[in-house]
Amino acid sequence: MPKLWNDTIEEHRRAVRDAVLDATAALAAEHGPRAVTMSRIATESGIGRATLYKYFPDVDAVLTAWHERQVTAHLRLLTELRHRPGGTAADRLAAVLDAYAGIQRRRAAHGAEPSALLHRGEHVDHAHRHLTALVRDLLTEAVAEGDVRSDVPPAELAAYCLHATGAAADVHSQAAVRRLVTVTLDALRPGPPGDSP
């Protein structure tokens, strides 16, 4: 069944866009995001400069789109982990924080953090709010299941969890990231019965 013309056009556009962003990711990983230029993107992606400029006005626009794609992919992964069936809410929380810490570590380790070059875009703020709400909801479930302390509002615990696991950017091994997540989760344990204020 032949595709509608518009669908084909749209698919082509997405393919070009993805090729540009993949080339940008490769260049940034190899040389750092500051070394990314429109010429290098054109060469690396095999897309002509004239075409490239039809898609993105300048390198900042490419870096912003690349960053947006990364943030969206991370959020999709974390959302999937949050809804994975089976296990307790505390298990799913551990999986989400583990993945989040790994993302923070990889971002820092690559030294290829484009957000340092960019103004924090609306999409980053949006993603951060979304993620905070996701973690808060998991914590609320885990409190109801008796696995997380009930003496601190889940919204505050969510801020704590995301900041604490953000320390993964400052540690130097995958084992250290695992220890960090363990330490972060240890603070969430409910106290002994009658211990809450």
Q: Interface residues with a copy of itself (CB under 8 A)?
A: 132, 149, 151-153, 156-157, 159-160, 162-167, 170-171, 176, 179-180, 182-184, 186-189
CB atoms within 10 A of CB 163: 10
109 vs 187, beta carbon nearer a copy of itself: 187
Which amino acid, residue 195? D
Number of H helices, E strands in the chain: 8, 0
124 vs 176, beta carbon nearer a copy of itself: 176
Min dist CB 19 to a copy of itself, Å, is: 32
Separation of first and last alpha carbons in the chain: 66
38 vs 155, beta carbon nearer a copy of itself: 155
Min dist CB 182 to a copy of itself, Å, is: 8
Min dist CB 72 to a copy of itself, Å, is: 22
List Cβ neighbours of 21 (8 Å cut-off, separation of 6 or more).
62, 65, 66, 69
Min dist CB 168 to a copy of itself, Å, is: 9
CB 78 within 8 A of CB 100: yes
